[in-house]
Chains A and B, each alone.
Chain A
Amino acid sequence: MLDIISMAYVAITFIITFLVTFIATPEVAKVMKHYGITGDDVHKLSKVKVPEMCGLAILLGLAIGTTTYMILRPSYVRETLAFLGTVLIAGGIGIIDDLRPLGARVKPLLTALSCLPILVLGAYVPTPVFPIIGPVRLTLIYPFLIPIAIAVTSNGVNMMDIMNGSMPGTVSIIAAAATGVLLLSGEAQTASLAAGLLAAMLAFYYFNRYPAKVFSGDTGSLAVGAALGALAILGRIETVLVVAMIPHIMNAFYGLASVGGLHERREIHQRPITLLKNGLLKASTEKGAPVTMARLILAEGPLGEKQIVRGMIILTAVSSVLALVTYWITLGGRI
């Protein structure tokens, strides 16, 4: 466990990140609305226009929160810079994608590159800890796995950002589990970064929850996903985060497997879910339709958007509990 001073730094990072994100989100939304950067809320009959790219507020919150932490605790500057660099590069790719959509194959490749700060600063230990078996030395292969990990987490979160509140709602639970695990392992700096992510997600959820007043866009979702990947690497909680992210990985894997590889949304003609005249959503019964988490939740019958997101949050809560159990199993093998 951490000492009281380290806990105070975790709390400071949390409070600053929360306040900055909470204050910045409506301001960013105003700017986006002014410039006409809006998107249709497609799962509603009214098709309201909602400001896009408000994930910029998440980037701002994380940047200010982690920079404050870096100033307060300069001894952890390398890890903090690696985290911030990864988040900002992924966010930058998101900005490009929001303004001028990247191809389905280009996006994962570019997001993989956002791990460069981790590699360049050498902010990793090539000995991941696995449940039951303990630490495994992967000196040569580990640096090659880092870009894959960042691409999977960032695109996994991006693919889950489909409904009001689904991205911040699920990621805040994962970030809470990560913060808890890192606090228990005494990883002060990474726990502060995880607490910052949790704060940004809670603040953003307030505006993005049903009925959404803002959309994060790829700017927010890619950055948040990259942040989770970076936390896994920096905090040496790779397996724990893989388990916590099971719903995101399931969603991405089913989607890719059912449409036969990487395709942009507009390239897929069959929709996984359809909006009914009464405002409820229904799973597509067509064989070739993509299999997504939303379609799986709707397989038992039509539901409202709010209920589907609640289902996603419940699944993430279960996976986060399983992640804590995994950490407990892993504990014996930790160095």
Chain B
Amino acid sequence: MPLVAIEVFVWLILLLSTFLVAKVAFSINFGNATIIERIATQVMRNFLAGAIVLVWLLVWKKVTDSYLLRALGRQTAKL
């Protein structure tokens, strides 16, 4: 079933994104001395993590859209 393959692909990309979030986003540190520094660190980390997730979602959508178009095209051709 092609959808199972897409699902496994989504899972693998999710693991990769998690790894990237940890290695890239969570490595950001503006210091811990003041509350402003702590808030800035957390906001920046989450902003970057959000950006990585967004890229993940776009890749995921692209793959699904191309599957749907191809499968529907085959169905229409059969008719």
Contacts and interface: CB of A to CB of B under 8 A. Distances in A.
Interface residues of B, number: 34
A257 B4 contact: no
Contact of A296 (B3, B15, B21, B38): B3
A20 B7 CA distance: 35
Say whether chain A's binding surface is mostly helix, strand, loop, or mixed.
Answer: helix
A314 B76 contact: no
Interface bin, chain A:
35 or more
A257 B1 CA distance: 23
Given A314-B1, A318-B7, A322-B8, A295 B68 contact: yes
A159 B14 CA distance: 22
Contacts of B71: 299-300
A87 interface: no
B18 A132 contact: yes
A48 B4 CA distance: 33
A149 to B, nearest CB: 13
A266 B19 CA distance: 40
A138 B18 contact: no
Contact of A250 (B10, B45, B76): B10
A140 B46 CA distance: 11
A243 B76 contact: no
A319 interface: yes
Contacts of B75: 283, 285, 299-301
A291 B64 contact: yes
A285 B72 contact: yes
Interface in A72-118: none
Interface of B: 1-4, 7-8, 10-11, 14-15, 18-19, 21-23, 26, 38-39, 42, 45-46, 57, 60-61, 64-65, 67-68, 71-72, 74-76, 78
9 contacts: A242-B14, A250-B60, A257-B61, A283-B75, A299-B72, A299-B75, A300-B74, A319-B11, A326-B11
Given A299-B71, A318-B7, A319-B11, 6 more contacts: A246-B14, A250-B7, A250-B64, A283-B75, A314-B1, A315-B7
